Amino acid sequence: MFGFSFLVFVSVFQLLPVAPYRMLALGGTPASAGWFLGLLTISCAVSAPFTGPLCDRVGHRRSLIIAGSLLSLITLSYASVHDNRVLLTIVVAHGVVWSALMAASSAYATATIPPARRAEGLGYWGMASILAIGIAPSLGFWVYRFGWGVLCVELSVLNVLMTTVGCLLPDERAAALAAGSAIDTEARTFGIEWRVILLAVSLSLISYGYGGLTSFSALFADAIGVMPRSTFLSSMACSVIAARLLVGRRLDSWGAGTVLMVSLVIPACALSLLASAAGRPGFVVAGVAFGAGFGLVWPSFAALVMGSIPMARRGAAFGAILAAFDTGIGVGSATTGWMVRAHGFRVAYAVAAVLAALALPYFLLARRRLHLGEAVH
């Protein structure tokens, strides 16, 4: 499953930093360039509450194979597009398929981890995406030197490999039935996990800044002469890996809720540092700080919530988390593009820092009202 997720994110994180440059080459503005990630994540967010329960019904492994096959076709189709309007239309479909892939893979991975080590296991599994973030942007820019079409073909091949790995995974439904689980019967319920969505708004306040960082940290680096342009993303990736390796074994013993509350505070500080950065050292420090907090947010939040969710509803729950998380990324990417054009990079990231500072107060209030985080017996 680690290999599957690694291929997923190597593909997408080659595409996301390069896509704004492709849109600029087709005559777009910096504001419109942000809409590639914006529409991808917004369509993912809107569809995730529905594709998550659908994956529970279809089966998580089968959903991985179907979604991987569709992604290979979608990424290949980008090569023949020479109009930004068409590009943005295709990216909406990309987002819907992406939501199914993320919900199914998260639910499948969670089922393989012992409950007593859930936060630790999710953290280690999540390092597949972080390792991909560390190498994929630079790889994507290097491949892009040979042309947009070459990049799209390479991404399609990676998605074919990802689908092949998915075919080799054991069927989680067969394993559940062998263990005497009633997963097939329970999975017939088809509904949105509204409580999870409401609690995950705290993640949206963090992921708003993440959306602006993914789309525009390279452009910000270009603007102030920081080389390489992937400095922030690479620093962030290294920091996430270090945080999960150093803290991972203690996540469950310390308590997912405790770790989450600490990690919700750090991204606001990191975004403030980036807003005032004057060169490469500032980018590195901000990236390390953001990664330290952001890297622990997802596993601690997911572990906290999964303790309240029956096994047969985990696709729906991860779909709900994804909806809130990607809404923040999509709005952050699109809004940051507009703010960069109107007020500059520093103001854009300062606004993101203010929003991130609201994450912890919101989480504390919402958790008290929603009563999430109590174990299901």
Q: Evaluate whether 18 touches 141 at the Cβ level (below 8 Å).
A: yes
Distance CA 276, CA 8 (A): 33
Distances from the Cα of 253 to the Cα of 118, 258, 304, angstroms = 11, 10, 13
Q: What pLDDT, on a 0 to 100 scale, did the predictor assign at position 375?
A: 44
Q: What angle do CA 102, 267, 217 make, to 5 degrees?
A: 75
Residue 66 CA to chain centroid, in angstroms? 20
| Per-residue b or e along 225-239, where b marks 16 or more CB atoms closer than 10 Å to that residue's CB | ebeebbbbbbbbbbb
> Is 19 in a helix, a strand, or coil?
helix
Considering the domain 2-179+186-370 in this protein, what is its CATH number?
A: 1.20.1250.20
Cα-Cα-Cα-Cα dihedral sign, residues 334, 338, 344, 350: negative
Distances from the Cα of 376 to the Cα of 93, 119, 308, 318, 327, angstroms = 35, 16, 5, 16, 28
Q: What pLDDT, on a 0 to 100 scale, did the predictor assign at position 376?
A: 39
Q: What pLDDT, on a 0 to 100 scale, did the predictor assign at position 179?
A: 46
Q: What pLDDT, on a 0 to 100 scale, did the predictor assign at position 187?
A: 44
Distances from the Cα of 371 to the Cα of 138, 198, 199, 360, 375, angstroms = 43, 11, 10, 16, 11
Q: Which residues of the chain have pLDDT under 70?
A: 31, 34, 119, 172-190, 248, 252, 371-377
Provide the residue ranges of all domains of the chain, joining segments of one domain with +.
2-179+186-370
Q: Evaluate whether 336 touches 212 at the Cβ level (below 8 Å).
A: yes
Q: What pLDDT, on a 0 to 100 scale, did the predictor assign at position 190?
A: 60
Q: Evaluate whether 134 touches 8 at the Cβ level (below 8 Å).
A: no
Most distant CA pair in the chain, distance: 60
pTM over 0.85: no
